[in-house]
Amino acid sequence: MISIDLKRCTLCGLCVPVCVRRILEEGDKGVVVTDPELCIDCGHCKAVCPTDAPGLSHLDETEFEPVANADKLPDPSEFLRFLRRRRSTRVYKDKPVEIEKLRMILEAGRFAPTGGNRQPCECIVVRGRELLDQVRSLAIQTLQKLGEAAKEAFRRHDQLKEPLPEEFIPLQNYPPVWERMARKWEEGIDLLFYHAPALILIRTKRGATTSADVDAGLSAMQMVLMAETMGLGTCLNGFLVTAIKRSEELRKVLNISDDHQVHVTFTVGYPDVEFLRLVARNPVNVKWIGDER
């Protein structure tokens, strides 16, 4: 619940325009909260207040630390080089990731923005070779079966002119990939998790937010960038998300109930490869509307 300490409030008014829900107004003796039930605990009011008058009972007061001075922010060009430094890692050392580092990665995700500040993201961390092998095997089996169903749907579409089920439309290139993945796993070669020592999943409860995919994506990106600062590699894994949606057994192993959905998964581990050059990409596809210069 939000409150204003009138002994500290100087009526500077800085908090009023930054309030997301516009529930702060200047009163005779200080700022007044007109409808505290609408507060989303974003903390903007507290962040701009020179005297720290706002109070947010649902949040940890110690986390409202002073912001770093502008001259301590990273140089834009160097920061861009850091973003380009991160690559998907598919070669990992046989070395576990320390719990402390995994917790720091999770903390980075915790501070990502979310729609309406609902903070709906929940994380699952999978560690241990036996459990990872079980998850991998179930996922590969599920993908292989999905690939077979997709191939049959494509065949019936081509030969019998039957409509192609919508769910198979984006899968046209994947059946041979999943078949090869299954064959290689029989040989002990992991083309799904690449023998990474840890796996992180981001899930939300169904109906908890209208922007679940975006919230999870933002959280994941902050996590993988944090991992980069600690010398860890990551690889986002959409195939596992696909498998989880279609396997009750896999969901059971990962403790994912029917009222939850997984949006993003990624592997984490120490890279056993050294990249010598930054990422290159196609030019941005952009259309300027309005003033361009």
Q: What is the pLDDT of residues 203-234, one digit of tens each?
A: 999 999 999 999 999 999 999 999 999 999 99
At 218, which amino acid appears?
L
The mean per-residue pLDDT over the stretch 65-78 comes to: 90
Q: Is residue 69 included in any domain, yes or no?
A: no
**Least confident span in 8-22, 40-54, 103-117, 163-177:** 163-177
Domain CATH number, residue 273? 3.40.109.10
CA-wise closest residue to 200 among 173, 177, 233, 161: 233
Whether 56 and 201 map to the same domain: the answer is no
Q: Of 39, 63, 87, which residue sits at a domain end?
A: 63
Q: Indicate the average pLDDT of the chain.
A: 96
Tens digit of pLDDT for each residue in 174-200? Answer: 999 999 999 999 999 999 999 999 999
Q: Is residue 267 included in any domain, yes or no?
A: yes
Q: Is residue 185 included in any domain, yes or no?
A: yes
Q: Is residue 68 included in any domain, yes or no?
A: no
Task: Count the Cβ atoms, other than its own, within 10 Å of residue 88.
Answer: 14
Identify the pLDDT of residue 82.
96
Whether 56 and 78 map to the same domain: the answer is no
Return the SS3 of 41. Answer: coil
Q: Of 31, 63, 95, which residue sits at a domain end?
A: 63
What is the spatial distance between Cα 49 and Cα 240, in angstroms, rounded to a whole number?
45
Whether 15 and 146 map to the same domain: the answer is no
The Cβ-side half-sphere exposure at 230, using a 13 Å CA radius, reads 22
**Total of domains in the chain:** 2
DSSP 194: T
Identify the pLDDT of residue 167.
87
Please measure the distance between the N-terminal and C-terminal CA atoms of the chain and give it in whole angstroms.
44
Structure confidence at residue 293 as a pLDDT band (50, 70, 90)? low
Structure confidence at residue 1 as a pLDDT band (50, 70, 90)? confident
Residue 257 pLDDT greater than 70, yes or no: yes
Identify the pLDDT of residue 172.
87
Tens digit of pLDDT for each residue in 85-111? Answer: 999 999 999 999 999 999 999 999 999
What is the spatial distance between Cα 135 and Cα 130, in angstroms, rounded to a whole number?
9
What is the domain extent for residue 206? Answer: 74-293
